[in-house]
């Protein structure tokens, strides 16, 4: 082996699964690593329902992030499928990022997650997020507490929103990635189709605009997605609700609320796709859809 061969850095590649409670900052973390918004983000918990895959390509590695739904006690079949999504993602993991909120680090959900990840034989990094919202003197006791509860490879305090500590976390991820060629072509950012992200953007706007139970009672499907030459893409989507009484709230007086939703969603969809879009929204009622296996499977849960 000559001197040049000795200095060659081996390429690394692997799956990094991000788990934690709802609204802990998992999606923000992945989006900021990718420098692109793939996972939708709102202040409301339980925004993420599906596993979202995002690929970070660097000169010496390919990191495949899996953003997962927040861990919670299931109330509907939908929640049970979301928990299955977490468990399935963990089977793909080369590294697990277990993220906790610095402001509420000791919840029962976190204790349950520790039990779950203790059965997965891969490196686990504890990420203490939202450190910008607490007194820095409180961070060390959190670290010491979790050190005594699990054998973490690293414990890293960050603020995902402010990108504080992300370079340290990135280096830790690279350190524990397995040596492997890339799994995806280097121009890929995700494996999921555009229509998936279009539906997610519409759902994000529902979470941002409407209050109370409405966002949680809705889901979005794409009926048509036509790319058209010399014209805007045509997208037709249906917003499903659980109760007829919710339909008037979504549509609003004289259709103003639905029009506002469509305008805001279209702007973000055009930014995501990088081209013009004509967005057509429909509203339909599917009673108790969150508890119907057949409909949930149509939505991609399995």
CA dist., res. 300 & res. 296, Å (int): 7
Clarify whether residues 156 and 200 are in a common domain: no
Clarify whether residues 63 and 123 are in a common domain: yes
pLDDT digits over 9-67, tens only?
899 999 999 999 999 999 999 999 999 999 999 999 989 999 999 999 999 999 999 99
The beta strands (E) that lie in the chain are given as 12-20, 52-58, 61-67, 95-101, 124-129, 154-157, 219-226, 233-241, 277-285
Long-range residue pairs from 212-216, CB within 8 A, at least 24 positions apart, any chain: 214/241, 214/246, 214/249, 214/250, 215/42, 215/44, 216/46
If one counts every other C-beta atom within 10 angstroms of the C-beta of residue 172, the result is 19
pLDDT score, position 3: 46
CA dist., res. 122 & res. 109, Å (int): 21
pLDDT digits over 88-99, tens only?
999 999 999 999
If one counts every other C-beta atom within 10 angstroms of the C-beta of residue 104, the result is 13
Residue 152 lies in a domain: yes
pLDDT score, position 7: 62
pLDDT digits over 235-246, tens only?
999 999 999 999
Q: Which domain holds residue 213?
A: 194-298
Clarify whether residues 171 and 231 are in a common domain: no
| CATH code of the domain containing 118 | 3.40.50.300
Q: How many domains does the chain have?
A: 2
């Amino acid at each position: 082996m000559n001197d040049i061969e000795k200095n060659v850095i081996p390429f690394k590649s692997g799956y990094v699964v991000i788990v934690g409670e709802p609204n802990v900052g998992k999606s923000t973390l992945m989006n900021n690593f990718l420098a692109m918004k793939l996972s939708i983000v709102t202040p409301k918990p339980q925004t993420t329902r599906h596993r979202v895959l995002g690929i970070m390509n660097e000169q010496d590695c390919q990191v495949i992030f899996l953003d997962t739904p927040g861990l919670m006690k299931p109330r509907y079949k939908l929640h049970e499928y979301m928990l299955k999504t977490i468990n399935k993602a963990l089977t793909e993991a080369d590294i697990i990022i277990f993220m906790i909120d610095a402001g509420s680090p000791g919840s029962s959900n976190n204790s349950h997650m520790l039990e779950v990840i203790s059965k997965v034989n891969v490196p686990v990094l504890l990420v203490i997020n939202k450190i910008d919202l607490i007194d820095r003197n409180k961070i060390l006791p959190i670290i010491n507490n979790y050190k005594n509860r699990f054998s973490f490879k690293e414990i890293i305090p960050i603020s995902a929103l402010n990108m504080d500590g992300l370079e340290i976390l990135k280096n830790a991820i690279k350190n524990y990635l397995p040596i492997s060629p890339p799994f995806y072509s280097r121009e890929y950012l995700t494996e999921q189709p555009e229509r998936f992200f279009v539906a997610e953007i519409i759902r994000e706007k529902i979470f941002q605009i409407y209050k109370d139970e409405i966002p949680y009672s809705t889901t979005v499907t794409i009926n048509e997605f036509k790319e058209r030459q010399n014209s805007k893409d045509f997208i037709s989507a249906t917003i499903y609700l659980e109760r007829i009484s919710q339909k008037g709230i979504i549509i609003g007086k004289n259709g103003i609320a639905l029009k506002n939703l469509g305008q805001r969603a279209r702007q973000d969809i055009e930014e995501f796709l990088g081209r013009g879009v004509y967005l057509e929204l429909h509203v339909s009622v599917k009673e108790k859809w969150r508890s119907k296996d057949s409909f949930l499977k149509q939505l991609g849960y399995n």
